[in-house]
Amino acid sequence: MQNSDFRDGCAFVRGNFVPIADAMIPITDTGFTRSDVTYDVVAVWDGKFFRLQQHLDRFEKSWQAIDMRPGVNQAQVREVLHQCVSKSGLRNAYVEMLITRGVPTAGERDPRNFINQFYAFAIPYIWIADAQEQQQGVDLVISKTAERISPQSVDPTVKNFHWGDLNRGLREALEAGAKTAVLLDNDGWVTEGPGFNIFAFVDGRLVTPASGVLLGITRQTILDLANEQGIDCEIGELGVKQLQSADEIFLTSTAGGVMPVRSLDGQVVGEGKPGPLTMSLRELYWREHGGDRWTEPVAYGDPQTKISLLAS
Ligand code: PLP
């Protein structure tokens, strides 16, 4: 049930639901001190989760990949997420789930001995690009100062907090008067940026990088929709020259959907405004948020829902 304390958001911390402003983790949690954490973010739009099952599957894959034992299963995570949104009463929400390695006991250096912690929270929906930017397109740069961390070091398919490279690219973009940056890998291929995947429409094909990136759920949704529209898609290598010659470029993220790019390194992309393919995929993407096939209504105040989680 909605409670005014939860109006700005609701978090699940160590077995309890608390107002977002009161949600705290111990300062020694290695999720904070060592970025030893994995997480996922799902959107709620107009009272419905979008592609929740895909987010839960990716989250579980991530926690298994880095040997976390969260003490919860998918069904319990789902229930907590419903409760966080329900308690907040939010109709459009940004819903995050996390597992941290946890707090070491004094002197303990072996992470296998830590008790992993599951957290979650729901806050008002976040837009990487605001409504005006989405209508006009955002200015993108290719980062010259930051290279994407090698997948051999940090697996980008396991959603993570190793944002040193992405943050550096973002600062570079902002200093250059742009909105955000895309990073290249060590071989010079285009990868992704702070919180988004990238697509380029080149020579009549929609291209998105195959590797060195998070397998974004929004990226997958765009591939699904584009395939249904009979648009030729390629999941492969995306080079700088291809990006520079693209007729359209857009970014995809749970936090903002499909975001058109109007300039790349100060050069106009296409006609310098969102292109027709980008806008039609964007329209289809948001239309699906009101449909049934990929949505799950939030259990607002559902008396059937019982939290079966144990406080840890
Ligand atoms: N790439 C990175 C590095 C991200 O952090 C995100 C989302 O936060 C994405 C891509 C987009 O993924 P999704 O569409 O699942 O939100």
pLDDT > 70: percent of the chain: 96
pLDDT of residue 245: 98
Lowest mean pLDDT segment, chosen from 106-110, 175-179, 252-256, 263-267: 106-110
Mean pLDDT of 38-54: 98
Q: Which residue has the tokens 């080149």?
A: 202
Please give the full DSSP string across the chain, using - where no structure is assigned. ---GGGTT-EEEETTEEEEGGG----TT-HHHHS--EEEEEEEEETTEEESHHHHHHHHHHHHHHTT---S--HHHHHHHHHHHHHHHT-SSEEEEEEEE--PPPTT---GGGS--EEEEEEEE---SS-HHHHHH-EEEEEEEEEEPPPTTTS-TTS-----HHHHHHHHHHHHTT-SEEEEE-TTS-B--BTTBEEEEEETTEEEEE-SSS---HHHHHHHHHHHHTT--EEEE---HHHHHT-SEEEEEETTTEEEEEEEETTEEPTTSS--HHHHHHHHHHHHHTTSSTTEEE--TT-TT----PPP-
Question: 222-247, pLDDT tens digit by residue?
Answer: 999 999 999 999 999 999 999 999 99
- pLDDT value at residue 173: 98
Query: Would you state the pLDDT for residue 305?
Result: 56
Q: Nearest 5°: CA angle at 221, between 216 and 225?
A: 150
- pLDDT for 306 equals 53
For residues 52-78, average pLDDT: 98
State phi, psi for 182 to the nearest 5 degrees.
-110, 145
Ligand 1 within 6 A of CB of 216: yes
For the stretch 269-290, pLDDT in tens is 999 999 999 999 999 999 999 9
61 alpha carbon to ligand 1 midpoint, in Å? Answer: 15
Whether 153 shows a pLDDT value over 90: the answer reads yes
Nearest CA residue ID for atom 9, ligand 1: 196
Tell me, in angstroms, the distance from the centre of ligand 1 to residue 274's CA. 21
Question: pLDDT at position 227, please?
Answer: 98
Sign of CA dihedral 85, 180, 61, 64: negative
pLDDT of 304 above 90: no
Mean pLDDT of 147-163: 98
Confidence of residue 310 (pLDDT cuts 50, 70, 90): very low
For residue 45, give the nearest of 304, 276, 289, 293 by alpha carbon: 289
Ligand 1 center to 308 CA (angstroms): 30
Distance 259 CA to ligand 1 centre (A): 13
Q: Is 62 in the pocket of ligand 1 (CB under 6 A)?
A: no
pLDDT of residue 307: 53
Mean pLDDT, rounded, of the chain: 95
Span 68-114, pLDDT tens digits: 999 999 999 999 999 999 999 999 999 999 999 999 999 899 999 99
Distance between start and end Cα atoms, the chain: 23
Cα 129 versus chain centre, distance: 14
With a 6 Å cutoff on the Cβ, whether 214 touches ligand 1 is yes
Q: Is residue 2 pLDDT above 60, yes or no? A: no
pLDDT for the residue 312 = 40
Is the predicted pLDDT of residue 4 greater than 80, yes or no? no
In which residue are the tokens 């995050």 written?
A: 96
Using only C-alpha atoms, the chain has a radius of gyration, in whole angstroms, of 20
- 44, 298 contact by CB (below 8 A): yes
Per-residue confidence band for 302, with pLDDT thresholds at 50, 70 and 90: confident
pLDDT value of residue 274: 97
Which residues does 134 contact at the CB level (< 8 Å), separation at least 6? Answer: 127, 256, 259, 260, 274, 282
- Regarding the beta carbon of 180 and ligand 1, being less than 6 Å apart is answered no
Per-residue pLDDT at 175 exceeds 60: yes
pLDDT at position 103, please? 96
